[in-house]
Structure 1
Amino acid sequence: MAMSAGSDDGEPMMEMNTTPLIDVMLVLLIMFIITIPIQTHAVKVDLPVNSKNAPQNPVDPQKNKVGIDEAGVVTWNGSQVDEVTLRQYLDQSAAINPEPELHFQPAPNAKYEAVDRTLAVIKRSAVTKLGFIGNEQYRNDF
């Protein structure tokens, strides 16, 4: 900016010269940038490694199947489970949004006691989507 020469009538100049102020601010900015310490600290994070043998999540986000065979063995998606593990899987599936369907398929010759005990575990969990599958084969028997 050019410096104003003022008017000839002897009045004081009303504009302030901001060029030296800007120069001082730029010098201070450069000094602050130079004096900032370099960030040399690091946070060590152990990231997961993809492997072919990694355990898969036993809870499917779409649908899960609880089965009971003739011997009374309870299975979750084909894997044998006990009541405590079944309850944990049920709680995990109930926490998923939207909740996956739970298909319950006891074998035709399964013991009633095992079926009743498994249904009691399912009822005590927070599962709301339960369906009995495999019953359609008996529709003509009655």
Structure 2
Amino acid sequence: MTIGRLGRETSTKVETIRYYEKIGLLPEPRRTAANYRVYTDAHLNLLGFIRRARELGFSIDDIRDLLRLAAHGEAPCDDIDRIAAQHLETTEKKIALLMQLRRELRDTLESCKGGRVAECKVIVALSPEPRGGQTGA
């Protein structure tokens, strides 16, 4: 299949496919005599895995490690479990921060009574707190 079709089938931009090839995450396909890339179902499946892992927030390095480890089907999956556990920990920290952000935004909006921009609770909440000894410019 062509790079365009591979992109459509995986909802991936052509530039992203080329980038994954350039960094060695996706193997370069064979080329026709006219130098066109020809992708196989193996590319399709691999790119699908990469896309799903990216959607779940795995880093490129983690995906590279997962792919390397997945190539050894009989090996223990301890290293894969470690990568997934680290990603889970990072994800849980992000969720906690997002929940805190949601609370702060809700509280700020609930305390907003309209009025003038100079008194806007959203602007006040987003403004940095004054630092000791510094004056406004």
TM-score (norm 2): 0.18
Structure number with bigger Rg: 1
Greater fraction strand: 1
> Larger relative contact order (C-alpha < 8 A, sep ≥ 6)?
1
Greater fraction helix: 2
TM-score (norm 1): 0.17
